[in-house]
Amino acid sequence: MIEGQVPALCQEMSISRAAFLRCLPAAVDGVAFSDAGTDISYCEGGKGWRIAVTPLSDLVLGAIRLPRQRVEIFLTGYDATATRRFLDRFELYFRRGGG
């Protein structure tokens, strides 16, 4: 991936890293990705992605504690249509509570 590249998506998610990793295979259409700690990536044939997952402090609402992660998705070799398809699928698999 290109250093200094602008993410295609940057958002905070109320999810644990373990739950994120459980949902990720379906969200990325089952491709075999590499997990290197904070970076999760996939590349094949000049097309690929990197997802940076950074833990944030828990969101505390009274007695409720929600784990949070900053998720940034970087895409390489995707045109505008393929980018939208990737992000739509990703968001669909992580949508909660009826969206």
pLDDT tens by residue, 11-50: 999 999 999 999 999 999 999 999 998 899 999 999 999 9
Over residues 84-99, the mean pLDDT reads: 86
Which amino acid does the sequence have at 81? T
Q: What tokens appear for 10 in the block? A: 């940057």
pTM: 0.88
Q: Report the C-alpha dihedral over residues 26, 44, 52, 24, rounded to 10 degrees.
A: 10
53 belongs to a structural domain: yes
Say how many domains are in the chain. 1
Q: Provide the pLDDT confidence category of residue 80 given band limits of 50, 70 and 90.
A: very high
Q: Is residue 88 part of a domain?
A: yes
Instruction: Name the nearest CA neighbour of 69 among 13, 5, 10.
Output: 13
Query: Which pLDDT score, from 0 to 100, does residue 96 have?
Result: 74
Where would I find the beta strands (DSSP E) of the chain? 9-13, 34-36, 39-44, 47-61, 64-76
CATH number at residue 22: 3.30.1370
| Residue numbers of the domain that contains 72 | 17-94
Question: Is there a domain that residue 4 lies in?
Answer: no
At 16, is the secondary structure helix, strand, or coil?
A: coil
